Chain A
Amino acid sequence: EAGVAQSPRYKIIEKRQSVAFWCNPISGHATLYWYQQILGQGPKLLIQFQNNGVVDDSQLPKDRFSAERLKGVDSTLKIQPAKLEDSAVYLCASSSPSLRLAGSYNEQFFGPGTRLTVL
């Protein structure tokens, strides 16, 4: 099966500019996640969607970050305006709780990420 797709793979912008990332999860996966990974650190969850509804956005800097998943399939993450500290890899992941079997683990499948550099 096709994996999680993300685009672009790389993006360089200047501070105060806007940027958007796109994610297409594995077909049929109801849950979608966006993570931020700063160099040398593990990924940090920004937002989690269940279908087109937000489950958890407690760590999303809402003054500059926004995300949507309007039709419950693909998703976009936007930063407006960008700051130097937003330089990171933005990872998208998906999982499918609707297919969970008793005792099974609903693993998250990650895309390759988008590397953002803010100058």
Chain B
Amino acid sequence: DAKTTQPTSMDCAEGRAANLPCNHSTISGNEYVYWYRQIHSQGPQYIIHGLKNNETNEMASLIITEDRKSSTLILPHATLRDTAVYYCIVRQFNDYKLSFGAGTTVTVRA
């Protein structure tokens, strides 16, 4: 699997957009970008995934660069409940295995 690089931590003000970067420079053509998050004392939760087009759902937006070497997860209006560790994962669509790195610890402050 291609590996990802994420910042260790970041802060965000409540009500503002949180932009979480992820580098995946060795991603191959059939690998997708997935985002999960893990709130304290809970299991990880799926957020969104994409191949090359930008994606949006009720939780977040995913922006993937044209060369697919990096992506940004956007939480449009961060709330205190968005405080969590966010994991960026690349994998093939039909590969069930999720390989988690250390992720980015996001702290939303009032």
- Give the contacts of A58-98 with B (CB-CB under 8 A): 91, 93, 95, 97
- The reply on B49 being an interface residue by CB < 8 A is yes
- Please indicate the chain A residues that have their CB under 8 angstroms from the CB of B96 in the complex: 31, 33, 48, 55, 95, 97, 106, 108
List the 7 closest pairs (A to B, CB-CB), nearest first: A110-B43, A42-B100, A107-B46, A43-B100, A91-B43, A110-B44, A42-B101
By a beta-carbon cutoff of 8 Å, the part of chain A in contact with chain B is 4, 31, 33, 40-45, 48, 55-56, 91, 93, 95, 97, 105-113
Q: Does B2 contact A (CB under 8 A)?
A: no
Chain B interface residues toward A at CB < 8 A: 34, 41-46, 49, 85, 87, 93, 96-103
Instruction: Given A31-B96, A42-B87, A48-B96, answer yes or no on A108-B46 (Cβ-Cβ < 8 Å).
Output: yes
Q: Check B102 against A112 for contact (C-beta < 8 Å).
A: no
Q: In the complex where A40-B102, A41-B102, A42-B87 touch, is A48 in contact with B97 (Cβ < 8 A)?
A: yes
